[in-house]
Amino acid sequence: LSRHNYFMNAEVSCCYKYLMFSYNIVFWLAGAAFIAIGFWAWSEKGVLLDLTLVTRMHGFDPVWLVMLVGTVTFVLGFAGCVGALRENICLLKFFSGVIGFIFFLELTAAVLALVFQEPLREWISEFFLANVKAYRDDIDLQNLIDSLQKLNHCCGSKDPNDWNLNVYFNCTQSNPSREKCGVPFSCCISDPADAVVNTQCGYDIRVSGSLDKWSSIIYTKGCISALEEWFPRNIYIVAGVFIVISLLQMVGIFLARTLIGDIEKVKCNYY
């Protein structure tokens, strides 16, 4: 009789249900914010008025990454929230399955990055050079490269001469640009005392001389080398971020699977 009463009184745990909802509402709202930021960025660049601009961009548009992260986060947050409130097993299984798949992709990417370090280095270098060519094509890409060069005190992929690949900065005789044989201002060694950024500091820097001569005015180290030096120095931060993200994903999977178990237990009482 007591066993019969236990199953008859079985119900979905309110604790897990609302923990699951609270866990996902944050990601749902964050996803919506990312998507809104992405659309705002595209509207500022006129992409929403002329969608063909998306196909005409030669470099990497950071807005795509923002939109991708926002969309995935929004969909997962929606599935988790609605699945918890409506006690919908399909949505909860979808949520836990996708989170598990993303976790598997992260582990796979980390292992491949460790095993294939040299091919990865070459791919990153080629990717950077491709975006050096498209530096002036997209304002978000331009800001991303400038931030990378300023933060890491670097210039170009291997050295400042990589900017010869850009039509505005190359040193060919036929180049009419005022930035000819120069580098972006983000390559310049800035003086902390300067209140205003000198955006013309890199003009004509590569007209004559060598890397040694330029080193007092601009950064001569390539960004790939700078990133290789940055990683070992910040390995604990990188590992910490990876562990926190992994724990959050495992908590989400645990809550979803526990809730699914409770819902299935309750449904057994009706059959």
Give the pLDDT means over successive 10-residue stretches in the chain (271 positions): 46 81 92 92 69 60 89 94 91 95 94 91 92 88 93 93 93 91 92 80 86 88 92 90 93 92 79 55
> Do 31 and 84 lie in a common domain?
yes
Within a domain: 52: no
Which one-letter amino acid corresponds to residue 147? S
Domain final residue, candidates 221, 243, 260: 221
Domain final residue, candidates 221, 239, 255: 221
Within a domain: 7: yes
CB 16 within 8 A of CB 85: no
With residues binned 3-state (H G I as helix, E B as strand, rest as coil), the percentages for the chain, rounded to 5, are 70, 0, 30
CB 142 within 8 A of CB 63: no
Structural domain including 106 reads 1-46+61-132+140-146+231-270
> Do 217 and 239 lie in a common domain?
no
> Do 126 and 216 lie in a common domain?
no
Nearest 5°: the CA angle 83, 89, 90 is 90
> Do 209 and 92 lie in a common domain?
no
> Do 217 and 235 lie in a common domain?
no
> Do 112 and 235 lie in a common domain?
yes
Within a domain: 55: no
CB 92 within 8 A of CB 259: yes
Rounded distance, CA 28 to CA 9, Å?
A: 33
3-state secondary structure of 188: strand
> Do 22 and 81 lie in a common domain?
yes
Within a domain: 17: yes
> Do 92 and 161 lie in a common domain?
no
> Do 179 and 238 lie in a common domain?
no
The pair of structure tokens assigned to 126 is 């080629």
> Do 217 and 243 lie in a common domain?
no
Within a domain: 53: no
Question: pTM here?
Answer: 0.79
Within a domain: 226: no
Q: Provide the angle, in degrees to the nearest 10, between the axes of the packed helices 235-267 and 14-44.
A: 130
Q: How much is the pLDDT for 1?
A: 43
> Do 75 and 113 lie in a common domain?
yes
Q: How much is the pLDDT for 6?
A: 44
Within a domain: 74: yes
**Kind and range of the H or E run holding 42:** helix 14-44
How many domains is the chain partitioned into structurally?
Answer: 2
Q: How much is the pLDDT for 267?
A: 77
Within a domain: 51: no
> Do 198 and 123 lie in a common domain?
no
3-state secondary structure of 197: coil
